Amino acid sequence: MKKTIILAFAAALLGAGACSEQGLPTYGDGHYVYFTEKSDEIVRFSFKTTPGEDTRTIRLAVETVTRTTDRTMSYRLEIDPAKTTAPSEAYDLDPNPVIQAGMFTGETYVTVHRTAVMDEKEVDIAVRIVEGGDFLPGPTTNCLRIIRVSNIISQPDWWNQDFADAFLGTYSNKKYEEFIKATGVSDLSEMDNSEITALCREFVYYLREQRDRGNEIREEDGSSMLDGININA
């Protein structure tokens, strides 16, 4: 993805440089920073997946299209009010976002705080890179990130049909909550197959233990949660 963005943006810069010969502004000597992921790739987080936590740090990767520098360089973030539905007390931006000397990549963060409205619905925090510090904003497709936060359990992206067929069966909110309770893990998206298998087996053992104690864990329709799991453990 980075190569595609750089090539497209570099072409735009070259075009701007050519126009400068006719007296138009040039951006060829500027420093540009942008989010690694595109603006339509939403970051989702639910406090329901981290029981007992009221604050969470969401990290966002950034990149630059510049030559290497010999000093730490700063850039500026702002909340986009038109796209933000979270109350102001629900977030704090990184107060000093920077790219370290000699680096072309970095990260910034948003600290998210649980609020009452999150118990009822998802809310959005829209973070935009704007002109300021040592950088100009890069490609418009990569200058905005939306963080969607709630305290509601919902199906994660990684629990797709392939995962259901191979491991834990059809998704349900109750099954996901029990999985988190049993394993202490809510996100499998960055794990390899062996790690996922181990956690799913741990969950199966937990369900069997509860059943053996006379506390069979059931789905909302009354069926045994064990019956809907596909992994052999």
Q: pLDDT tens across 198-231, in order?
A: 999 999 999 999 999 999 999 999 999 999 898 7
And the tokens for 20?
Answer: 């400068």
Question: pTM above the 0.85 mark?
Answer: no
Q: In terms of residue numbers, what domain contains 75?
A: 2-150
Q: Which of 119, 150, 181 is the last residue of a domain?
A: 150
Number of domains forming the structure of the chain: 2
Can you tell me the distance from the alpha carbon of 46 to that of 44, in angstroms, rounded to the nearest whole number? Answer: 7
pLDDT tens digits along 29-69: 678 999 999 998 899 999 998 888 999 999 999 999 866 57
Residue 77 has pLDDT above 50, yes or no: yes
- 168 in any annotated domain: yes
Which residues are CB-neighbours of 69 under 8 A, at least 6 positions away? 31, 99, 101, 102
Q: Do both 29 and 137 map to the same domain?
A: yes
pLDDT the model gives residue 26: 36
| Residue 69, pLDDT score | 72
**CA–CA gap between residue 126 and residue 117 (Å, rounded):** 17
Which band of pLDDT confidence, cut at 50, 70 and 90, is reported for residue 233? low
pLDDT digits (tens, 9 = 90+) for 168-178: 999 999 999 99
Alpha carbon separation from 103 to 3, 62, 72, 100 (Å, rounded)? 16, 11, 9, 6
Residue 30 and residue 119 in one domain:
yes
Q: Are residues 118 and 169 in the same domain?
A: no
Percent of the chain with pLDDT over 70: 85
Residue 126 resides in a domain: yes
CATH number at residue 16: 2.60.40.2030
